[in-house]
Structure 1
Amino acid sequence: MIINHETALKTLRRMTHEILEKNDDVANIVLVGILKKGLPIALLIRDNIKQYAGIEVPVVELDISMHRDDEKRRPATQPDFAVGNKVCILVDDVLFTGRTARAAMDAIVDLGRPKRIEFAVLIDRGHRELPIRADYVGKNAPTALDETVIVNLSGINAGVYIERIR
């Protein structure tokens, strides 16, 4: 186990404080949870922002399947939100090669021109293939290429784990 459930929630609270420190105009933030694993983390960050700043920022689920260059393309559902002049904070569970983040940025730019795009991840495991970095990182957890990181924030076995790929 990399981090247990309690530590993961504590880490997300710290990341929320970092987001609030960097963004004076909280009402201008849109949290963009990358389908599927980024959405639960985005919702937790939204709840933390509401608790600390008293503002409920919108959360949007982003399907990036149409923008992937390393997987078979399939039609994506477009979210219905305006990105113009908004601070879009992409949220995902794990940053690995950077390809998911690149596809997510492409999907956002297809919707309009945001004021800024930031990136928040719970775990950064290294091994970039693209020059991508996260603005907000919960934990750096270097892994071997034959390992994967599993993030599970609900249920009996909640926590973040490393598993060897067979």
Structure 2
Amino acid sequence: MAKDCSFDIVSEVEMQEVDNAVNQSTKEIGQRFDFRGSKSSVNLENNEIKIVADDDMKLKNIVDILQNKLVKRGISLKNLDYGKVDSGSLGSVKQVIKIKKGIDKEAAKKVIAAIKGMKVKVQAQIMEDQVRVSAKDKDDLQQVIAELRQKDFGVELQFVNYR
């Protein structure tokens, strides 16, 4: 009897790297000349990055700094969900960026539809915030991985537990 092979499709974010990027961003904001005397800040709280700036221009600069630090640390920008910019007191602006973990139901359905469209003999099923793909042949699984890497589902996909 042939043993089934499988792998899981997940979307994980290394929170320690996000914390490091936020800390580096805070340090750079404190050192830059254009932020001297401003009340700009970047904080990480419960999977949310909260940004406060004096005006829209400084907010855009802070977001740019943060994005650069995240990319250097290997965090995909696809896993960020940018909230709307809120006006605060004395002309300040605030923005909350949520960090998306796991594959939501809509993205999981798109992944499964893409796998079914490949006409490969594999089975895919949604398991909470991940998708498990199984097949009898490892070559089919590798073909699925190769084709999924070329597509965009709105979140960064990682392929784990390949056995």
Tell me the TM-score normalised to structure 2 length: 0.29
Larger RCO: 1 or 2 (CA < 8 Å, sep 6+): 2
Question: TM (normalized to structure 1)?
Answer: 0.29
- Structure whose residues are more often helix by fraction: 2
Give the greater-gyration-radius structure (CA). Answer: 2
